Amino acid sequence: MEKTSDNQTERTPLLLITAAIEQGGRTMASLLRKGPLLGITGSAQIRNVQGEEVQTLDQIGQETFLGLFRRSRAVLSVLSEEAEMPEVLPCDEKTSLLVAMDPLDGSSNISVNAPIGSIFSIFRPPAPSSSSPEGLFLNASSPLLSAYLLYSVSTSLVLAFSGETRVFTLDPDTGEFLGDGSPWRFPDKGKIYSTNEAYLPRWEKPLQDYLSWIKKERNPSMILRYIGALVGDFHRNLLKGGIYLYPAEAGEKTSGKLRLLYEACPMAHIARNAGGIATDGKQDILTIVPRSVHQRVPLIVGSVDLVREFQERTGHPLSGL
């Protein structure tokens, strides 16, 4: 990493946190490769605070990254999908930062050997930082750095910082994440849409009409590609150009499915730094002020032209993006 923050006092903790993410990625990539042989690919037989079934590797991912952040002494508090409340860590309070994470995204893909990931956002704590652990995250600034790890044919690390998004690949022989140093940009045009069409009957009418239009009338037409793991679907669209859609459902789930602070927000930050856009269907994801640490939101993210087209077709054109 050549640059992470314009504030030199934040440079050291950001580098320490990034090093912890890299080490966690190496550890998890190794465990995932050997998972079936070690007997760790099944359910842990418990449910997390979200009411979701926890996989054994979910627990391992939580313990791995939390332990690395604790040892870095650069993290004031960690918010995780797997824990009800943020955990305060021993640190240098003058320079420490906040981390929100989904330690293993798409863990239902583990048993079928499909792509999964880990997602992170790093925030500057509010000043003064005497708030409760929950209040720290609810009042934090926009992300300083966001990252995800993609565990697939190879292991990728994607970092967004200082207005750029960069992609690195793990060399399993050396353990280093290597890249060519060039910022990555969303292609301006794309033809991929990623969504779970099984939920189409639950969507509001404008969303149903939009999906019908891109399948039957749009010129050029688009193709569906959907893995079922946010990191995997986002990464494909980042490289090839496309739009990812997990909109709100009509009725009870109008608040959306994905969590704002450790799923939607980091992906929005990475997209923005790569020249893309992310919205909840009405406003920029990065402008949403969280009401709770596990708040859920709809997410539409991808190439600029495709997201703007979605907004216009569904009656909420974006301005200023």
Query: Which residues are documented as binding site for substrate?
Result: 105-108, 196, 226, 244-246, 257
Contact assessment for residue 158 and residue 17, using Cβ atoms and an 8 Å cutoff:
no
Kindly state the DSSP code that residue 284 receives in the 8-state scheme. Answer: B
In angstroms, the CA 47 to CA 73 distance is 30
Query: Which residues are documented as binding site for Mg(2+)?
Result: 81, 102, 104-105, 263
Residues 6+ apart with CB under 8 A from 109: 115, 116, 227, 228, 229, 232
ω into 220 cis (within 30 of 0): yes
Q: How far, CA to CA in Å, does 52 sit from each of 48, 164, 219, 292? A: 6, 34, 40, 18
Beta-ladder partners of 279? 284, 300
Contact assessment for residue 160 and residue 146, using Cβ atoms and an 8 Å cutoff:
yes
Residues 6+ apart with CB under 8 A from 231: 105, 106, 115, 116, 117, 118, 119, 148, 149, 150
Number of continuous H segments (helices) and E segments (strands) in the chain? 7, 17
Query: Which residues are documented as binding site?
Result: 81, 102, 104-108, 196, 226, 244-246, 257, 263
Residues 6+ apart with CB under 8 A from 39: none
Q: What angle do CA 145, 149, 153 make, to 5 degrees?
A: 150
Q: How far, CA to CA in Å, does 78 sit from each of 100, 241, 264, 277? A: 6, 32, 17, 26
Strand order across the 97-105 sheet = 87-88, 75-80, 97-105, 116-123, 145-151, 155-161, 164-171, 176-178
